[in-house]
Structure 1
Amino acid sequence: MSAEQDTLATPGWHAQLRLTFARPAERTCLVERQHRGPLLVQRPFYPEGDVCHAYIVHPPGGVVGGDELELEVDARDSTHVVLTTPAAAKFYRSDGRTARQKQTLRAKQSTLEWLPQESIYYPQSRVRSSTRIELESHAKLIGWDIACLGLPARNQPFDRGELHLHLELWVNGKPLLIDRLRLAGNDNNPSGLNGQQAVGTLLAYPATRAMIEAVRTLQPPGVELGVTLVDDVLVCRALAAQAEPIKHAFIEYWQTLRPLLLNRAAVSPRIWAT
């Protein structure tokens, strides 16, 4: 058996993590946790008292072709959950197989803040990634997704490979945003990306015109930003040469939006400082 055949015969990681949050007393608690394979959650933190900060961890540190990751989060009535990751997600060069990631986040009569670090898609990676957010019964959301195409700091563009990146927002069973990004081969600079290597989307719901005006006054450096308000969803789209300016811009937007939407000052997850 050749080395290539041996690699293709090796099964990838199949990891699942299911989290349920409830509020049995005075604060949001992680009441149920199920996992299989290398996808974990750290012990929750409570820097704000009643708000639960939880960190999603993928111990291998990177995703390769054949890996499958599935995350399912259920935030039940009256909870407030802040979810983030300790580091960027790295999708490495593929041996021909496709890496798959599926994330489903549900919030009912609760508040969900989905603030992951960026995803880095290495040249020659093959990835299908979908994030679906489902809100019900007056739930509130601030969330984002940031993708870095290739390794721009090393002058390694995403010149080979294939990406299917999906982001959806549903409210009370109706789709308010369905976003599809597909990149293949040397098509990493299609019309719409303006030659940039990093792209991001930030969402806030339910948003107001005042929130739009508040973030439009901000001028973070090194990033192109566009903000719209449709069906009570604030959508910010960002382009930059690298992911870092987008991340800094989104954090600044989050710090501005959080008091307006949630009536809380922004308290950054501790893991961001490490």
Structure 2
Amino acid sequence: MRRRHVGPLVVQRPFHPESDGTAHIYLLHPPGGIAGGDRLEITCHLEPGTRAVLTTPGATKFYRSVNGLSKQTTSINVGAGAVCEYLPQETIIFDGADARVGTRVTLAAADATYVGWDFLSLGRPAAGERFARGSVQQRIEVSLGGRPVWFERLFLQGDAPLNRAAFALGGRPIVGTMIYVGPIADNAAERVRDCLGEKARDVFSVSQRDQGIVCRYLGEMMSEGKSLFTRVWDVLREAGQGKRAATPRIWAT
């Protein structure tokens, strides 16, 4: 209905590639990265009964910090009967960055649906850069009807022993988390496992809880993690909404 733009974040005109009218919305950050001392705050409201896929055209980059912490916080409010699919591209933590990344999701009612993923790249593996200095904190909160259903906090320091420990990250630089909360089939986790097969077992896990599904990826390649999570999104969409995934066309550019 109207659009107002202030600051470095821009929302493109929404696309409607799906027959049910689901809006595909691209959130752009033209500067391309977050430097020390920068703070980005994103707030999304989905009115009751609406459907939206929110994504970004490129990776979020946290550059080396020289002027304090850099932060990005995202708040998403999902109305009754609404569906929010928050599927941003990866977040790259450059060596020397001090980054804080937070996502808070509030679902108004049990018939609301949220599916979202977050990928962290510790350093730039393709360029041979490790995350040897700095720190990163990731915080994810999901509540349903005023009650918390998922809360987690990840805090890592560059080149800490925990990053290399076999019981933790095992030296793997790509960490992915995918959360689904909302109505879904009872055998959704089994469907996900059947879809991915045995080859994904070393890098992927899925758990089904009372309120939804939690998936993890821990590996060496961002392309592998994205491919697995996109296939999971397709399965969960069919199990929860009765339709197949429609990948945003910006991902193909």
TM-score scaled to structure 1, two decimals? 0.85
Deviation string 1:18-44 (CA, Å, 9 cap, x unpaired) is xxxxxxxxxxxxx45444210011000
Q: 2:189 aligns with which of 204, 212, 220?
A: 212
1:65 paired to 2:36:
yes
1:170 paired to 2:146:
no
Q: Distance in 2 between matches of 1:32 and 1:263?
A: 32
Q: Which deviates more, 111-120 or 229-238?
A: 229-238
**Offset at 1:96?**
4.2
**Offset at 1:222?**
9.3
Deviation string 1:108-155 (CA, Å, 9 cap, x unpaired) is 120011111110100000111100111112201221111110011122
User: What residue ranges of structure 1 are gaps of 5+ in the alignment?
Assistant: 1-30
1:186 paired to 2:165:
no
Q: Contact conserved, 1:73 with 1:105, CA < 8 A, in 2?
A: yes
- The match for 2:97 is 125
The structure with more strand, counted as a fraction of residues = 1
Q: Which deviates more, 181-190 or 87-96?
A: 181-190
Q: Distance in 2 between matches of 1:222 and 1:160?
A: 31
User: What residue ranges of structure 2 are gaps of 5+ in the alignment?
Assistant: none
Q: Distance in 1 between matches of 2:145 and 2:222?
A: 32
Q: Secondary structure of 1:60's match?
A: coil
- The match for 2:71 is 100
One-letter amino acid of the structure 1 residue matched with residue 164 of structure 2: N
- The match for 1:203 is 179
Q: Contact conserved, 1:142 with 1:205, CA < 8 A, in 2?
A: yes
Q: Contact conserved, 1:133 with 1:170, CA < 8 A, in 2?
A: yes
Q: Which deviates more, 73-82 or 190-199?
A: 190-199
**Offset at 1:97?**
1.2
One-letter amino acid of the structure 2 residue matched with residue 153 of structure 1: A
Q: Distance in 1 between matches of 2:202 and 2:123?
A: 18
**Any residues of structure 2 matched to 1:101-116 within 5 Å, and which?**
101-109=72-80, 110-116=82-88
Identity within the alignment, %: 38
Q: Distance in 1 between matches of 2:230 and 2:5?
A: 29
Q: Contact conserved, 1:176 with 1:231, CA < 8 A, in 2?
A: no
Q: Contact conserved, 1:225 with 1:237, CA < 8 A, in 2?
A: yes
Deviation string 1:140-174 (CA, Å, 9 cap, x unpaired) is 12211111100111221111001111111111111
Give 1 or 2 for the bigger CA radius of gyration.
1
